[in-house]
Structure 1
Amino acid sequence: MQPVYTIFGNHKDRGREDFSHFTGEDYVNEVMNARLAPPEGLAAPLSIMWELTSKCKNRCIYCYNDSSPDRLEQLSDKRMLSLANEIIEMKPFNICLTGGEPTENSHYLDLMLLFASYGLKVSTILSGANLNSKYINIISKCVDTLQISLDGSCPEIHDSVRGRKGSFDEAINAIREFVEKGIDVRVSFASTSRNIDDFKNTYDLCKELRVTSLRTQRLARVGRAKSKTGFSFYPSEEQIDNLEKFLYENAKVRNPMIEYAEPYLHLTTGMDVGITTLARITSSGDVGISPYLEAYFGNVNEEPFQQIWNRMKKGWHNSQMYEIASKVAMDLDNMESPLEEKVYIR
């Protein structure tokens, strides 16, 4: 199994003195021993990832769902509201509003306020675009944590990765504004060949900005990153080794916390545990089990979300899903083999 590494500082409670080496087998054992996975599946997702739109001012070289300025997919106003009510009735622990750039959806703040008013834990993923005092104030009242993407320590690197000048300044301004509001700001850094050597400098910047955590991982071979052009943005093994050496050397660092994970770990753990905990809703309404698989159990434009969830709550053990996930998990080292195209599982 692929290991996941997470640097949470000194975890004496787990008997780990520094760098936590946590495998998929460890995860499965802990979940099963804690009886967190009922045989019949969960009545609702623990977490929902709702991609409100595919529109984004940036055109990131690695984007997992191929968002861009000219992609306009999103649900109708009527369906967005009815879906929000369905989600509220299902009572998930967390709803994450993302995109594309979620602020490109005119109902972003309305949906956030609605979920928060019903006591749902709301989080969001932003680039820093489109923010003004109104957005910052409302978001700060509705969320405890949010994630902002920062792919370099300077405009030259960050803007190159994200495909638009000015995106670095937007991200930095957003981080500063939300930190000042007392929000738990977490930063995501996509490790590509263009910026991975700048991770240490980005870490130093995050420390200066007082973010809570800085997360990175090996680049997932999905979306724009699985194209022939995208392959050229994969870091070399030497670059990855240098990054991991820095991570090991800073294993006890807590300000900010550094997190490093294997992006596909959930495939093997999902197949082992069998129980689905996450639901991904795309901007076009497809409902999937993973942000890294083009495998869907239905579309909310065609049937209620609860009905789709009832099919997918044990989806990792669906024979078709298991076959797709197994193929992907076994083929991760083959850079020339793209991941699955869109598949609907019934």
Structure 2
Amino acid sequence: MEIPDRPLEIIWDITYACPLRCFHCYSESGRRPSRQLSRQDMLRVAERIVAMRPYGISLAGGEPLLADGVFEVAARMADAGIKVALFTGGWSVRPEMIDDIVRHFFRVSVSLDGATAEVHDRIRGRRGSFDRAMATLQFLDQRVGRLRRDGGDAPSFGIDCVLVRSNFHQAEDFCTRIAPRFPALGFVSLGAVVPEGLASRPGVAEHELLTDEQVGLLGSAAFAARLRSVAPPSVQVTATDNLALQMHPDRIRRGQFFPALQVEPDGAARAMPAYEGTVGNLLTDPPAELWRRAVERWHDPFVVETLTPVRTMREWADATRRIDRHFASRADRARIERRPDFLPVRP
């Protein structure tokens, strides 16, 4: 695959505000300033994103539903003909928000990192977060089901699960115990935790990063087929090892990479979604120039030298920490140095 002349996907972490404290949080949301823009500037960023003509846009965070004006931003991008997806932890969803959610998004992913409250709440760092996520799925199920029965347009909604060692044993349970509770559920998406942000800490790498054997299993066709065989027929089940996010030089040459641009809440554009280091800001720099700089970063000698020898998940985590410290701003390096050690909590 040739490198496209624009990002095919844009992930906009529209705020770093978050009520949860996930130990594997990629953006350290809830532990740092939200950096959320004003409504006017959010709309300016939205216009710049539209100008890049991506196939899809995902609004994430943090918790995007905490961002004042998120529905207006989604509407602006959807009106331009771009499909806009939402990622939510479910904690902040209220029944009166459901109509806006189903109106403005073509796909809604509810993060669920455990098939039981015990596992999910431990990973998400807040008691009651499993119940809130399940309530959100119930709200969506009722509204989407009603729209479909009435012949109206409805988004696809489903479950997005980050697999770590302490929930890997529950992979099938999402298909057999959770999915059947929601007749209108469209998908279950399971992906290996990426050693990014807090998930790149040595303690997480040692105790919660998937083993290489687990990653190999997750990336196999047989594993995905097994999950699909036990899920309701109407539910699309996908499983991914997420190695495309590694941006390994060998994978780039083979076309096995993720041509995406990640945007921080204030409009700053990351060169590579899984690594620290920005290449400018959508509020001040031409979008095409930001993409050119991002692609250039993929081939930076330090990046190539650091990622070329990587063959294992532990080596990937080590490489992430090196790249982050090399390209992060002074303020971001200070934040990285303040990260607390990870101490595993077992039941």
TM-score of the alignment, normalized to the shorter chain, above 0.5: yes
- The structure-2 alpha-carbon separation of the partners of 1:312 and 1:247, relative to structure 1 and needing over 3 Å to count, comes to closer
Alpha-carbon deviation of 1:338? 5.1
Alpha-carbon deviation of 1:154? 2.2
> What TM-score results when the alignment is normalised by the length of structure 2?
0.76
Query: Which residue of structure 2 aligns with residue 234 of structure 1?
Result: 209
Amino acid at match of 2:67: N
Unaligned runs of 5+ in 1: 1-30, 32-36
Greater RCO (CA < 8 Å, at least 6 residues apart): 1
Taking the aligned partners of 2:56 and 2:225, their CA distance within structure 1 comes to: 31
Taking the aligned partners of 2:86 and 2:293, their CA distance within structure 1 comes to: 27
Taking the aligned partners of 2:257 and 2:315, their CA distance within structure 1 comes to: 28
Query: Which residue of structure 1 aligns with residue 273 of structure 2?
Result: 291
Query: Which residue of structure 2 aligns with residue 179 of structure 1?
Result: 141
Partner-residue secondary structure (3-state), 2:318: coil
Percent of aligned pairs with the same residue?
22
Taking the aligned partners of 2:267 and 2:327, their CA distance within structure 1 comes to: 12
- The structure-2 alpha-carbon separation of the partners of 1:315 and 1:172, relative to structure 1 and needing over 3 Å to count, comes to same
After superposition, the C-alpha distances for 1:17-71 in whole angstroms (9 at most, x for unaligned) are xxxxxxxxxxxxxx4xxxxx37xx41x3222110101111001111112212554
Contact 2:20 2:30 in 1 (8 A): yes
> What TM-score results when the alignment is normalised by the length of structure 1?
0.76
Taking the aligned partners of 1:294 and 1:280, their CA distance within structure 2 comes to: 10
Question: Does 1:262 find its partner at 2:262?
Answer: no
Contact 1:48 1:95 in 2 (8 A): yes
Query: Which residue of structure 2 aligns with residue 341 of structure 1?
Result: 324
- The structure-2 alpha-carbon separation of the partners of 1:81 and 1:338, relative to structure 1 and needing over 3 Å to count, comes to same
Taking the aligned partners of 1:79 and 1:115, their CA distance within structure 2 comes to: 14
Query: Which residue of structure 2 aligns with residue 153 of structure 1?
Result: 115
Alpha-carbon deviation of 1:138? 1.2
Taking the aligned partners of 2:35 and 2:64, their CA distance within structure 1 comes to: 12
Taking the aligned partners of 1:276 and 1:238, their CA distance within structure 2 comes to: 23
Partner-residue secondary structure (3-state), 2:315: coil
Query: Which residue of structure 2 aligns with residue 194 of structure 1?
Result: 166
Quick one: which of 195, 202, 207 aligns to 2:180?
207
1:23-34 equivalence runs, <5 A? 31=1
Root mean square deviation of aligned Cα: 3.1
Q: Which has the higher helix share?
A: 2
- The structure-2 alpha-carbon separation of the partners of 1:208 and 1:299, relative to structure 1 and needing over 3 Å to count, comes to same
Alpha-carbon deviation of 1:240? 6.8
- The structure-2 alpha-carbon separation of the partners of 1:320 and 1:115, relative to structure 1 and needing over 3 Å to count, comes to same
Query: Which residue of structure 2 aligns with residue 332 of structure 1?
Result: 313
Taking the aligned partners of 1:275 and 1:233, their CA distance within structure 2 comes to: 24
- The structure-2 alpha-carbon separation of the partners of 1:181 and 1:104, relative to structure 1 and needing over 3 Å to count, comes to same
Contact 2:307 2:316 in 1 (8 A): no
* Stretch of structure 1 that moved more, 118-127 or 207-216: 207-216
- The structure-2 alpha-carbon separation of the partners of 1:342 and 1:256, relative to structure 1 and needing over 3 Å to count, comes to farther
Taking the aligned partners of 1:330 and 1:236, their CA distance within structure 2 comes to: 12
Query: Which residue of structure 2 aligns with residue 10 of structure 1?
Result: none
Alpha-carbon deviation of 1:155? 1.6
Contact 1:63 1:225 in 2 (8 A): yes
* Stretch of structure 1 that moved more, 53-62 or 173-182: 173-182
1:13-24 equivalence runs, <5 A? none
Amino acid at match of 1:270: I
Taking the aligned partners of 2:244 and 2:213, their CA distance within structure 1 comes to: 22
Query: Which residue of structure 2 aligns with residue 7 of structure 1?
Result: none
Taking the aligned partners of 1:189 and 1:302, their CA distance within structure 2 comes to: 35
